[in-house]
Structures are given as structure tokens and as C-alpha cells.
Structure 1
Amino acid sequence: MLLHHAIRIVEKNQPINDSSNLTNLDFKLFNQTTGKKYDYPVFGKQCNHFGDKFIDLQNAVDGFNSQERQYQCPHCDQIYKEISDFTPHDLFKKIQNEFHPQTNTISIVHGILVSHIKRNKKRFGDPLISDKIKNSIIDLLTQREDDPFQKASQSTTLAQLDQRLKTEFQIQFQSMCLLDNVNINIPVRHKDCKHIQAYELTSLISYQIENYRDQKNNQLKQRDTVRYLKCQQSGCHSIFPLYSEIDLINSLVVDFQFLQTIKKAYPGNQLYIINKTINNEILLTDWISNSTNTKDKFIYQYWAQKENKIELEKLFSYDEFQRNVLEKMATIMNLEQPKAIKEKINQYKNSICWMKLKDYSNQMVEYPTRCVNCPIPKPLGEKQQDIIEPQQDNIKPLNNWDIRTFIAYIIHKKKKAEVKKQNTEKLKCPLCENEFKKNLVQMQFNNELIFYDAQLYQKMQNRLSDIKYEPDNLFEYRGKDYLLENFKNLWKYSVEDFLNDENVSENGKIQYKTIKCHNFRDLYLKNPLINFKCKNQIRFNFDYFYKKFQENNFQFKNGIKLCQCQETECELVTEIEGQLYYDHVYNEAYKNKPTHCNCDQGFEYDLKNKKFRELKQGEYVMMKLIAPIVRHFKEDEQLERGLSFKYQQQGQRQQIRQQSIMEQ
């Protein structure tokens, strides 16, 4: 009996496994014992094991073709004597139709098929499949032709609003979540979003849950402005409600066109293309499927190198090699980084240094990656920070490879060692030349081997056109500027914070004792910071804090003393959040200062009426401000995943409240 003849017989039977409520985030399409993909998975009618314990029909056929003329189920030892005693899996045809042929693992959420969610299951997977939001998730992931929000949120529909498509006839974009830069499996947007870039559903749900835990703080409950997340896409004004999981999910819409393309895409693919044809038809495809040779440029360049090609052709077919690299790439990019890596990134993310973004193949790196042993870059000194070109003698840029090249390198060396049975051979990092402790054969692909630097990826996006033409694709990483931006946008004391502070804002007036920096009395305040660990809440320049922060290797291990106050009045600063804030109120007041005012005794500013008044001797009264709540992930996270959004006008806040009531 041949397999195709057996399939015709089996398909006459009704599937006995109802998968409509099946949930399995690691649903494997291969035999976990043999490691081989099923030719045609089936169940025996007398078997009672469902889920992912399949029988491969080819094995059953082999049993009937043997001398015994029967087949024994390897899972329950049930013996079958007729090929008609088997029934197909009800998901198999759906999987065949919806996924790329080389897909090995998928995720099933309440009976709905999605790409494999390669993330921390406790943090990102379990909330998605919880019974609490089951009905909302099913409703969100159900496609309806009559839903106007779903129609408006499809990639090709949104592409028509994108100016790039009108001039270039093609848009390329990465499937990276706007919130935390992970690979997208379930693309969602706010119902009001009009941009192609999307969010990963599990990232938003996890973010909301962590935000909700903070709402136990009474001060946070009283402030509606920290219960929302502003869309991270530049120019978009959509606002995600964070006060409950249900309300967040109800504000979302799935891009089913993008979702289906992701499922059909070559496993591990990150790049997608929207093309406008001659007939004005708009098509969305993954880059590899759209490419004429279906070869990833980084993987193929590694394969094609003279020193690699002869060896690799003996070890792999190109398709097998490329699929292995891309699947491991997706895995690493979606893993959470261990604490040691976060600390290493934190040590450079605030410094000023040079990054070399030229890959092994002489291409510019797209996804910067290093090994866990690569040293952090040496920060530039104060005298070097304005240098245009790095000096080879004392300023060495940090090398980065693209993640695909790095994975290709390790897979190559590992497979070679396995074939030659070189069980004691160890791997050296090609960038830093440090040797790993484990043998090559024992190595597993995880975030304790190499890591994707999402922090660097995020910062290089605005400079791609410049980096492209720099020698060695050098990128001047200006952590000082990025830190100042975080203060201005994230850790800030705003006019709204002052007006919401009932202790000090009864008449809307604020007083300042001086317009000079606390630590350098000959310098005027510029980019002023407030120290809330100081009883006097002194103001000093950001440059002074940065100098002290740099002297402490950008760490707060032993605390940093920023004030010249007595120890009883001023505590050491041990972190930024909740202790240091950028004073937007001072900037608002000072810009209205008349040119003739010296403010030797300080000044007063009426924020409601926009009036500035110079103080006379003895008029200054110390006002005790309350530090505002900041809604974002802790500073030592992989990167700041979302900024707290402050509404500048009371009317806008009221509008948001009305909108949320209507949604409920």
C-alpha cells in the first residue's frame, strides 16, 4: 500500500478530535521522538490520547506492508489491522493551508492558529490564554468581513495612506513591535492607528498587567493621565487604555492580512514588502518569498564565502541551513535577556562611544549582535566627545555582527565539530576572541550565548542613511543625548504635575530661589533637574549629574551624592526613577522672564495666568513638591518600553474619559 492511497481512505473518515477549544503554545508538527516531521498525522479510532501525540500515517502504512500486516500505536500500544481505522487530525488541513511548508511548531490560542510564540510563557504566554480574557481574545482574533475597524487596519489599506508608496512603489518594513522591538507573531494596532508599523499582542497585554499592579498605589488611582499609553509611532495620537485587560483588548484590532502573511512567511523571516503593481494592485509578502532567489542576503553571503562554501555544502543543503539560522534568530530575538546582559547594556547605554556596524560580509549590520563575553565599549572622555573621527590609538569602536551572520557562524562550527566528533573543541567569539566555557557540541542557542542588542537597534534607526556611508559603518552612539531625552520625555516634572499637586498649587503660583545651578553658582540653570532625595529639592544642571554619573561608571551601586547639603538634609541618589526629574515648570516660567530681571532674590511665576514676577528679599517661601508617578518599565529593563503620556489640557483629559466610557 502506498501513502497517497492510504490518505484517500483515511480522509473519508470524520476527524474525531475537536480542536475548537484547544490551547497549546508549543504545538509541534514533528515526532518528538525521532525529530522528523510527520508525513500525514492521524489518530487511531480506539486511541484516547489527543493533543499532539500523533501517529504518522507513513509508519502505519509501513506496518501494514510488513509481514505482521498490522500496526501498533507507539503511545498506547493499541493494535490496528485496517487502514480505515485511522482518522485525520482536524487541524492538519488548516495548518497545511495557513502555514509555510517548513513550519515545525505553531501556537494555538483557544482553537485559533498563530505563529509560534517563542517567549517567556509565564510572562507573555499565560496572560494571553487565561480564562479571564478568553472571550475577548477569541473575539479579537476572529475575522469578520463586516467589521469596519478590521477593514481599515489591513496593511494594504494603510499602505495607500503612506507617502512612500506613492513615490517609490514599494515599502519595506521589519516585523518589530513598536513597544519592545520583539518579533511580531500577532500584529495589532489601536483602532485609530493609521500606520503600517504594528504591536505584538503579547507585549501589550504583559505591559498592561505590569501597569495594573502599580495601580494599587493610591496616588496612581487618582491620576487618569498615567492610565493610558500613547502610541509609540511618531505622529500617531492613538491612546491605549491600561486600566484593565478587557478595555485594552477592546481598543485593539488585528491586522489579519499581516497575520496571515506572517504565518505563510518563511520561518524566521523578519522583513516584509508592500508592492504596488502596474495595475495599482497592492500586495504584501515576506521578503524571502518575494525575492527571486529566496535567499537571505546575510545568510547567503556567509554561505558563499570561499572559506565556508565547500564545508557547508557537505554539511547542509542551503534551504536547511537558512531555515535553521532564521528560526534560531527569531528565538533569540524574542527571549528575555538575563540580568548580566541587561547590566552590560546599561553600562554603555548612557555613555558616548563608537559602534562598528560592518558585518563579516562587509554589509551594514541590520540587527546588531554580540556574544555575552564581548566587552562594553570604552566611553569617550570629555575632551574626546566632540571628535568627529575615532582615533585608532585610544578609541576602539565596539564590533557588531548581524544576528544572522553570528548564528550562521555558530551553526557552521557546531555542525562541523559534531560530524568530526570533536567533542572537546570550544568556540571562540569572532568579535572579541574570548573562548566559551562549554564545548561546541554542548552549546544551546539561548540568550546566554549571544544577544540581540535592541537598545542599539532602536538608536541606530534614525541614522541609517548616514551610517551607510561612514567608513566601517561607524555609528556615534551618544548616550548622553539619549539620557537627556529620557529626562525631558519620561522622568519629568511637568506643569500638569504641579497643577495636580494640591499641596502647592492652590493659586497656581510657584517660586524659585535662584536661576543659578546649585553646584556651580556662576552657571545659569540649563536643562534643570530636581533632586527629590533632597529636603530642599535643589535644582542643578543635567551636565553636572551626567559628570557624576559617568564617574560612577553609570551605576548607582553605592549611591551618588549630588547636593552640597548636610547629610541630614540630603540622601544619596540610588536610581533615577522617583528621585530625579527634569523641571519643565522652570523652563515654562523662565521663558517668560523679562530681559531686565536679574532675579537675585528669586522669582515667582503664575502658571495659570502666565505672569512672571521678580521676588524681593525675604519673599521666597520653600514649596515642597510631590514627585509624579512615571508609567514605564524600570530603568534596568532591556529598553524603556513606552513613555507616560501627559495631557497638556484639562479638556483633552475629559475627552479621553468620555471616549473610554463610550468604549465600555
Structure 2
Amino acid sequence: MRQQYFTLQNSIQYLQEYNGFQEFTEIKLTDHNNERYLYPVLTSKCKHIKYATNLEEVLNAINISGFFKCECNNLARHPSQLQKDIRWDANEEINEIFDDGLVIHNKLFHHFKRARRYNTALTDQFVLSSLKILLEQQNSNNIIQIFQRMMQNYQTQKPIYFKAMCLLDLVSLNIPVRFFGCQHPECYDLASLLVYYNENSIYQSSSDKLKQFKCKQRTCQVKVDISTVQKLFDNIYIETELLKIIQKGLPSIYQYSYNPNTRQIQQDIVLQDNAIVDPQIQCRYLQENKNVPASNEAYQKYQKQVTEYAHVILQRTSIVKAEQKLRLFKYKIFVIPAIIENIKQPARCINCHVSQVMELKYLLSSFQTQKDLYKQQVKQLKCPLCEKMFNYNSFIPNVVYFDKNLFDAFDQGFLEKSGQTYVYDGKKLMKDEFLQKQKVELIEFKKHLQKDNENQICTFTQLYCCSNPAIPISLPLILKNCPEQRIVDFESFYYSIQQLEVDNYEKQCLKFCNCQYCSNHPFSFEELAFNVYFHEAFYIALTQFNKSKSKNKPDQFTYDFKSNRIIEESVHSKSIKSIHINIKSFYQGFTSLQDDKYKENFLPYQKEPNKMFCAYVTSNQITTELAILQNNREGYKGDASTKLKQVNEKMRNNEIAKKYGFVITETNSQFKDGFIKLAVGNASSKQN
């Protein structure tokens, strides 16, 4: 009997749906020839994810030999013994620019190119379980409905433009999410929100900020509780419509528009000769290659390469030299030429001065054009801005970086026009971040007063800057590690910051006090977040003092924090010099100054302060890695002081821990799994 001849048309009806399960798996979207899979399949018994086979190839084997044998030795003699691979719809869902993909709960995404801690945040088991629920939810609210409401409110039929970049850290979006209640098209990247939570949940002083997280969209007034991961997920939904558009669009283009006539969201691209064209990339290409059609294979290859460069740059942290420059100049004052008005994605090479700037894709295209021109001669590449030279084999995303500071400067009010130029005001930004984030909060200072002073009265005796005694303190910054925790005025402090160059970023050259300790322990700009903090309580008291008409003692004053008023000095008042503020009261807000090495080494451990070292109960004394637990009539009691001292002694020899001043200050021991019979008393999981 003659076997049926199978074709694509008569075989697809027999195929099984994909029967595997992938929780979080990176995969290739291309076959062994580096071409996109076309109708990829597996046998019904295949369990692998690394590779698949195109359906046409499988059917050809069945038609000729009567069976198809997979590399894993599983057989299929009929299309009904095949299943669609997880990549089956990749060509419809993922732009062909991507050679790699990511599967989360069997949902296919384009490849994420972010730093390791962002993927780590997504792979947490609770996060993955919560993400599964989000992916399955059907939301009544979506971006199209938001635009329709905006059209009604604005009473206009003009296109509405928006940026498909994370509101939190300005990276291109991978998994766009929005808070319930937000009525704007802009979204957050889920991984960015999770990392933000991880980095802030370790500080008790930031609990209010997480409980009342204010949406970062500048006109939005929505506040949500993200104080736990569960609450974070309870308050967000995935913007599925935008996700589809992002995955199918060019990752180098962040600007989208809503067309009220077609009711469609469009990327800022051009269609020519049935090919998607990035106008900025094409403009640079045509300077060297006149009248080349968009469908030309050489141009499409060129555009793909430049787009891949842009995607890498817009997704990840810059190389060390560029990142240090961004962190330092984020808080400096400098002049930018007026061309910045027309630049959407400001960029420069790692050797450029910060005032030199060019459109990201135009700069990348310039480097790629040189690579194509010099392919035979292997010449050095020249930056079109600063004209510095780079090795021909340089990986372009390691040479060029995106300036997030300038990208958002107009919206944030840190870029102001001055004649024919613009002035970037990083001083204003630094002051704002001290006032809002990097500080000893009023409530923490009052706790210290309450310990010995029920009336919360304090006498402030240092009214002049410790680094420049001629300057009266206006905005007080406390030196945390100074034995006397002296105060430096912001203006004097900022003058030193403005003098720093990138070469001094890691150099321990900052010193604001002449005491023996501070003289022997200067710190670097990189370590600023661990040394200098805004003193909120002193600032509040000082503001009242400066407003008061009576200044009997200009070198000091006394303030009652309970009644919030200046009072006559009392024998019951407590001098600020005698108040040593506990290390836990200092809230580090300058997280942008902390490099990835710090965040990857320390934040995961700080994220879980209740992590337990488990031990079986076999005697009346239990020794764990961080404590000694001794049984008595009340049950087990822990003594961690000896062990902590030993561990922290070892930490002093650790270069990374020494650099960031990392110490273990507190541990917690718990008994697990119900009650345990002891020689004396009982222990339970509720007893610490």
C-alpha cells in the first residue's frame, strides 16, 4: 500500500501542541545554519529545548524513508507523532533581528541583555509563580483604551507619541508592566521594579517609600504599596498589547505613536520595498551608498548589526570607564551645545568629553560604516566626535555608551538654555537626592534623643562648616564615619565634587574634616554613599533658628523636637556632639554610585535578613556559623557576639567588603518544624 505523501499544507492539522514546560530557559531562534527556524517541530517524545527541526525537513525524511529520526534517537512515522516546537510562532511574534529568545512559563520573549542581577530577580521562585499568574490574566485595561480616553480628554485627532522605555531606569522594555490606576501609556520593566524593591527593602528607613511608591511618570499621581513582592505583583499588570508590538518592532527604536484614525500603535519606522527601515540608520548608510534600496541584502545586514549594537547598549550597564563618567557627571555642572535639542538618544564614545554628544544610532552607524569600508585593510576606527582612534576589532557597544543623564534632563528640569548653549545642572540633582534619599531621617534622630531625653531637646554646637570654618552651615551633611560625626556644608562639599575628574573616581582623595581619623581615611567619590548624609533633623532645627529674631548665642542653639521650637539652653538638653548616630539610621540613597559588583555581591544577602543556618538539635548547645545557642530553663538563647566578631575579623581581609565597609550587625536564629523536646523547656518555630 502506497504511503500518503505529506506536505506542509496537509500535515499541520495532525501536529500536537508543544507538550513540554519551560519555566525560564534561554534558547536559540536559529538553526545550525544560523537561519530562523521555519515551522520547527519535535517528535512527540522529545524533551530537549536546545534544538528543533524544520517541518519540511522532517516530512521529506518521512516521505523518503518512512520515518524521521531525531538527533535524540526518537522516531516519527507520521505527522501525528510530531509536536510543534516552542519556537513555532517565533517568526510572527519576534523581530528577525533577534537570534536568541527567552521562554518564561512557555511564553516566548526576545532575548534580554540586561545585567545579571535583573535576570536573577526574575528567576526567584516566588517571582516566577507570580509572573505565571500575570501572564495568564486577562486585563480589562490596556494601552489602546488608555489612548482612546486621552483622545477624548484632549479632544484631538493628532497622533500621540510616547517612549517605550522603563520609567524607573530608562532601559528598553522587556516585560512592560503598569500599575492599576495609571492612565498613561508609559510602563515599567518588570525586572527594574523587582531590583528596585530588592535594593530598597533592605533598609528599614525606606519602608514608607515602598509603601507609598509614587509612579515616576511626571504627571501621574498614583501611589501604590510595593513593600513586599506579593504587594508589588498585586498592583501591576502586564501590558500585553505593548509587549506584542515591542517584540515585533526594532529594538533600536524607543519612540512609538498612537494613530487615532487607524487605532493602531506604530513604531517610529518607515516601510520601504516591503522592508522595515530605521530612518537614522538608513540616513548614515546612504551617505556612503547612494540610491541603495531598503530591501538590499547588504543594507539589511548593516541595519541588523547597528540595531543589535543599540539593543545591547540600551539594555545593559556601560563598561566601567563609561559608567564612572556617567555617575560622576550626573552630579556636575557642564555646558552642552544647542544640538542637544534635536538629539533623541544622546551618546558618545568612552573617550569623548561629556559636552560632546551625538544621536546614538548615527554614532553607531558611523563606526559600522568604517568597519565595512576598512574590512580589507583593517584600519583603526575613528570617533566622529572626538576623533580618538580605536582598534578595528573593538566591540562597538564597549566603545559607545548612551547618556541616560541627558536623555531625561529636559523632562526633569536639569537642562536649561543659556544663550546658544544648554547648561546641565547636576548640582541641583545632587541636592535633591540628599534631601530625599541620602540622609539621616528626622524620625531616626528623634529615636536617639528619646533614649536619654524624654523631652527630645538637643543643643547644636557646630554651626560652621568643618571643612571651611568661614562658611556658616546652610544645608548640613553629616560625616558618618567621623568619630565626632562632624558637619560639612553642602556648598563646601559640592565645590570638592565639582573639581573631580573621572581619573579620580576611585581615588581616595575626598576629605572634609581635619580630625586624625578623617585625615587618615579619605574616601573616593565611589564611596560617597557610605560616608556623607543629609542631616534632616539639624536642617529643620537650623531653619527655625535662622528665622528666629533672638540669637543670643550665635555659635550654638537649643531645639525642642517635641514642640518643634527654639528654646533657651537647658541643663536637660543634650549636645549634638554627645549623640553618636547608629549606623542603621543612615539611609543610603545614592545607589547609582554603587557598581554592579557591589550590588551582585551584597544585595542578594541583604535581601533575606532572616535567612537561617539550619542545624539538628542533638545537645543543649548548638553552634551555627553565626551564633552559639545555649539551652536553659526558658529554652534556647543565642549569643552571636563572639561569632560575629570572628566573622567580621575575616571580613576585614576581604577586599570587596573592606571597600564598601560591609559588616554583619545582627543575626536571627529560628527553630523550624513545630515543637522540639528539650532537656529543659520547649522550643518552637515561633521562638527566636
- TM-score, normalized by the shorter chain, greater than 0.5: yes
Say which structure, 1 or 2, has more relative contact order (CA 8 Å, 6+ apart): 1
Map residues 386-401 of structure 1 onto 2, 5 A cutoff: 398-401=355-358
Q: Is the Cα–Cα contact under 8 Å of residues 527 and 542 in structure 1 kept in the other structure?
A: yes
* Post-superposition offset of 1:311: 7.9
Map residues 631-642 of structure 1 onto 2, 5 A cutoff: 633=591, 635-637=593-595
The one-letter code matched in structure 2 to 1:635 is L
The one-letter code matched in structure 2 to 1:112 is K
SS in 2 for 1:413: helix
Aligned pair partner of 1:186 in 152, 175, 182: 175
| Cα separation, 2, equivalents of 1:522 and 1:330 | 51
Judged with a 3 Å threshold, the aligned counterparts in structure 2 of structure 1 residues 177 and 604 are, in CA distance, closer, same or farther, namely same
Aligned residue in 1 for 2:52: 54
* Post-superposition offset of 1:316: 3.9
| Cα separation, 1, equivalents of 2:15 and 2:75 | 20
Aligned pair partner of 1:452 in 390, 399, 402: 402
SS in 1 for 2:7: helix
Q: Is the Cα–Cα contact under 8 Å of residues 39 and 88 in structure 2 kept in the other structure?
A: no
Aligned residue in 2 for 1:284: 265
SS in 1 for 2:269: helix
Aligned residue in 1 for 2:230: 246
Judged with a 3 Å threshold, the aligned counterparts in structure 2 of structure 1 residues 211 and 13 are, in CA distance, closer, same or farther, namely same
Q: Is the Cα–Cα contact under 8 Å of residues 230 and 237 in structure 1 kept in the other structure?
A: yes
* Post-superposition offset of 1:96: 5.1
| Cα separation, 1, equivalents of 2:374 and 2:562 | 72
Q: Is the Cα–Cα contact under 8 Å of residues 42 and 56 in structure 1 kept in the other structure?
A: yes
SS in 2 for 1:577: helix
Q: Is the Cα–Cα contact under 8 Å of residues 382 and 389 in structure 2 kept in the other structure?
A: yes
Aligned pair partner of 1:499 in 446, 449, 459: 446
Q: Is the Cα–Cα contact under 8 Å of residues 136 and 250 in structure 1 kept in the other structure?
A: no
Aligned pair partner of 1:368 in 339, 346, 351: 346
- The two structures have a TM-score, normalised by structure 2, of 0.73
Aligned residue in 2 for 1:343: 324
RMSD across aligned C-alpha pairs, in angstroms?
4.0
Q: Deviations over 1:603-624 (max 9, x none)?
A: 2222332322254899772341
* 5+ long unaligned stretches in structure 2: 600-688
Q: Is the Cα–Cα contact under 8 Å of residues 367 and 403 in structure 1 kept in the other structure?
A: yes
| Cα separation, 1, equivalents of 2:433 and 2:50 | 47
Aligned residue in 2 for 1:385: none
1:489 and 2:453 matched: no
| Cα separation, 1, equivalents of 2:198 and 2:572 | 50
* Post-superposition offset of 1:102: 6.1
The one-letter code matched in structure 2 to 1:488 is L
Aligned residue in 2 for 1:389: none
Q: Deviations over 1:482-530 (max 9, x none)?
A: 2222222221233233234444763233322254434444443222222
The one-letter code matched in structure 2 to 1:576 is L
The one-letter code matched in structure 1 to 2:136 is T
Aligned residue in 1 for 2:208: 225
Aligned residue in 2 for 1:576: 528
Aligned pair partner of 1:143 in 137, 148, 164: 137
| Cα separation, 1, equivalents of 2:97 and 2:531 | 52
| Cα separation, 1, equivalents of 2:344 and 2:70 | 46
Map residues 248-647 of structure 1 onto 2, 5 A cutoff: 248-277=232-261, 283-288=264-269, 295-305=277-287, 307-309=288-290, 316=297, 318-356=299-337, 358=339, 364-372=342-350, 374-377=351-354, 398-418=355-375, 421-422=376-377, 424-437=378-391, 439=392, 442-446=393-397, 448-462=398-412, 474-501=421-448, 502-503=450-451, 506-553=454-501, 555=505, 557-567=507-517, 572-574=522-524, 575-592=527-544, 593-597=547-551, 599-615=553-569, 621=575, 622-624=577-579, 625-626=581-582, 627-630=585-588, 633=591, 635-637=593-595
* Post-superposition offset of 1:408: 1.9
The one-letter code matched in structure 2 to 1:11 is I
1:75 and 2:74 matched: no
Q: Is the Cα–Cα contact under 8 Å of residues 69 and 75 in structure 2 kept in the other structure?
A: yes
Judged with a 3 Å threshold, the aligned counterparts in structure 2 of structure 1 residues 475 and 58 are, in CA distance, closer, same or farther, namely farther
SS in 2 for 1:576: helix
The one-letter code matched in structure 1 to 2:511 is K
* Post-superposition offset of 1:55: 1.5
Q: Is the Cα–Cα contact under 8 Å of residues 271 and 277 in structure 2 kept in the other structure?
A: no
Judged with a 3 Å threshold, the aligned counterparts in structure 2 of structure 1 residues 637 and 22 are, in CA distance, closer, same or farther, namely same
| Cα separation, 2, equivalents of 1:465 and 1:375 | 20
* Post-superposition offset of 1:104: 4.4
Q: Is the Cα–Cα contact under 8 Å of residues 351 and 550 in structure 1 kept in the other structure?
A: yes
Q: Is the Cα–Cα contact under 8 Å of residues 369 and 451 in structure 1 kept in the other structure?
A: yes
* 5+ long unaligned stretches in structure 1: 145-149, 378-397, 642-664
Q: Is the Cα–Cα contact under 8 Å of residues 28 and 51 in structure 2 kept in the other structure?
A: no
| Cα separation, 2, equivalents of 1:96 and 1:172 | 27
SS in 2 for 1:369: strand
| Cα separation, 1, equivalents of 2:174 and 2:100 | 13
Aligned residue in 2 for 1:382: none
Identity %: 21
Aligned residue in 2 for 1:655: none
SS in 1 for 2:15: coil
Q: Provide the aligned length of Structure 1 versus Structure 2.
A: 580
* Post-superposition offset of 1:319: 4.6
Q: Is the Cα–Cα contact under 8 Å of residues 12 and 79 in structure 2 kept in the other structure?
A: no
The one-letter code matched in structure 2 to 1:485 is D
Q: Is the Cα–Cα contact under 8 Å of residues 332 and 445 in structure 1 kept in the other structure?
A: no
Aligned residue in 1 for 2:13: 12
Judged with a 3 Å threshold, the aligned counterparts in structure 2 of structure 1 residues 634 and 270 are, in CA distance, closer, same or farther, namely closer
Aligned residue in 2 for 1:38: 37
Aligned residue in 2 for 1:394: none
Map residues 162-201 of structure 1 onto 2, 5 A cutoff: 165-166=154-155, 169-201=158-190
| Cα separation, 2, equivalents of 1:24 and 1:101 | 21
SS in 2 for 1:336: coil
